[in-house]
Chain A
């Protein structure tokens, strides 16, 4: 099976997942609030008023019809009004999603980028000081709460050292770059505004560290243990017997195998970051979707909650799809054995 066939097949496999996800969210949105009509009209409403609104909202239809209506609306961007902002939830989220995406994608990218060499060094120096150092760092990384790390970073780097900005995506007086992707790092580069790029990057630095430390620790330890497993395999011994340099064996032969088995966790980590970004977004006043989601929960802003759930769900599915693609690329067995 060629890579393209594999890609198409994986894409087709995501369709039922997305369908299931939409049904689930639909059911949640209908079941959790109790009776949305009574909720909307208040306790004083008469039965006639309730029935009339029910018909108007299409709630007297059978459930599958309601689902179809709902899905049609969702696809068209009709995600209802937010009780809190009085805007369409869809446009609220569209305005905030890029900030969260920029934060989480950059975080994941650097977490994995750093986890790889650290994990390889720890794994190939098992029980030596490099390994112990990585173990202590990892323990620290996963056990410190993110918001606490965030505050400590602010105290050290902002308050004491004055090196980095306290919060937000850009300094006061710096205009956002012309919107293309709404990711400031990307847009500022497209517009050639390097000053803005640097400003956006310095604002990203602390939130990224606070958010990504745990992911870095987790992926590093995983790569370490996978490297140790690989070390015992025959192909590694064979490569040594052929006289290949150790660095080639470690960083090419073993790493590709080890990273492949860590990939699934990296995919899950992305969804996890999306879900946990709110802690960091609140501390750093990051104008993102995760903070919006938390506020929606606090205000019982139901449409907004459903909206954020949809986006996080799509994020999960997309991350898994990307993982599958990488997986098929890095490990030919996946696509060859399936075909």
Chain B
């Protein structure tokens, strides 16, 4: 990747719980290029929100024992709280997951938008600014104009009315639009969208997604798009990172991932697309592992139809299976995608190759056209 706006390297995130340390995020790596939309896809509870909240620095109760988060080349984990604060909103902003709870219920939409325009990036409330603002009606009128304009841009038909409304007076779709408007108000370079639209009905969701797509296109914003819906990820993203139980199990450009899905989890997700309305992962038997006592080997082994005894023991480090395709599964050969796994790679586990790749075993011809083994062969 030429010039990534965000790079996450070997990120680990832990929580202290009553049952011990929950090792939720277990060494993930991904990057987003400038102007690109990357998707992070996985079932509920796999750690998507924890990942993005760690990037934003919004998890005071979490510890990050290892890892690096680089924003525009700068290691944000080494920054002071004040420095991180000054980057939130202006540099990177976020659309929160739930439109019903992410707006302050006791303030009007307008007031919340004006606060963002007035206070964003300031270290604290200052009395002198409060007084100055109260006196200068000019700045206030300008902020108001800007906020209403922004509401218009997210295609709210009566922006003045919505500006004066309290969140309870608005429908879910309306609130989702307001959340988008607030996040874009400060023109961030990186926008993190945590499952926008999931809480809405399908038609409204589609409209909101189209709108968001258009808005970030216009602004050339880089986007990290969180979703549990591979179908949605296909619509909006340039790259997909498939996440399972706090690990990224497969990453590839969107077209490549759909043409050539490799990880058994990814394939399971694709198979269950028709039943997506019930939530992904439901199509795959079993549950996420316990984060306080995660498996030593593959975190997916308990649910994987191709699991071998070795899978439970040996960690399936991500390996390069194509020029721009990495998969964390022992069924695939390839150099380790990260240098830190080189010693692990030396003791490679052999559980054979993916059954759908051997002759006659292709049960996914619809999803995975083309000669995959040839592809893998030329690149390694």
Contact = CB atoms under 8 A, between A and B. Distances in A.
Given A243-B86, A247-B125, A336-B168, A253 B58 contact: no
A332 B106 contact: yes
Nearest to A235: B104
5 contacts: A238-B96, A242-B116, A243-B116, A332-B108, A333-B106
B105 interface: yes
A333 B169 CA distance: 9
Contacts of A233: 101
A47 interface: no
Interface residues of B, number: 39
A167 interface: no
Interface in B113-140: 115-116, 119-125
Contacts, number: 98
B47 interface: no
A331 interface: yes
A63 to B, nearest CB: 47
B103 A333 contact: no
A237 interface: yes
Interface of B: 53, 56, 58, 85-90, 93-94, 96-98, 101-108, 115-116, 119-125, 166, 168-169, 179, 182-183, 185-186
Contact of A257 (B105, B166, B179): B105
Nearest to A250: B125
A15 interface: no
Interface of A: 233-235, 237-248, 251-253, 256-257, 260, 330-333, 336-337
Nearest to A257: B106
Given A332-B168, A336-B168, A241 B56 contact: yes
B101 A235 contact: yes
Contact of B103 (A235, A331, A336): A235
A247 B104 CA distance: 16
Contact of A242 (B97, B124, B166, B182): B182
Given A235-B104, A330-B106, A242 B168 contact: no
B98 to A, nearest CB: 6
B102 A235 contact: yes
Contact of A238 (B94, B107, B168): B94
Given A237-B58, A240-B58, A336-B168, A245 B104 contact: no
Contacts of A239: 104
A333 B166 contact: yes
Contacts of B115: 244, 248, 252
B94 A243 contact: no
A15 to B, nearest CB: 28
Contacts of B102: 234-235, 237-238
Contacts of A238: 94, 96, 102-103, 179, 182
A331 B186 contact: no
Nearest to A337: B168
A237 B120 contact: no
Nearest to B123: A245
Contacts of B94: 238, 241
Contacts of B103: 235, 238
A234 B98 contact: yes
Contacts of A248: 115, 119, 124-125
Nearest to A233: B101
Given A241-B93, A242-B116, A337-B168, A253 B124 contact: no
Given A235-B103, A238-B102, A245-B85, 12 more contacts: A234-B101, A241-B93, A242-B88, A242-B186, A243-B93, A245-B124, A245-B125, A248-B125, A256-B107, A257-B106, A333-B166, A336-B166
Contacts of B90: 243
A294 B245 CA distance: 68
Contacts of A251: 125
A234 B186 CA distance: 20
A331 B104 CA distance: 11
A86 B245 CA distance: 82
Contacts of B120: 242-244
A125 to B, nearest CB: 12
A196 B119 CA distance: 45
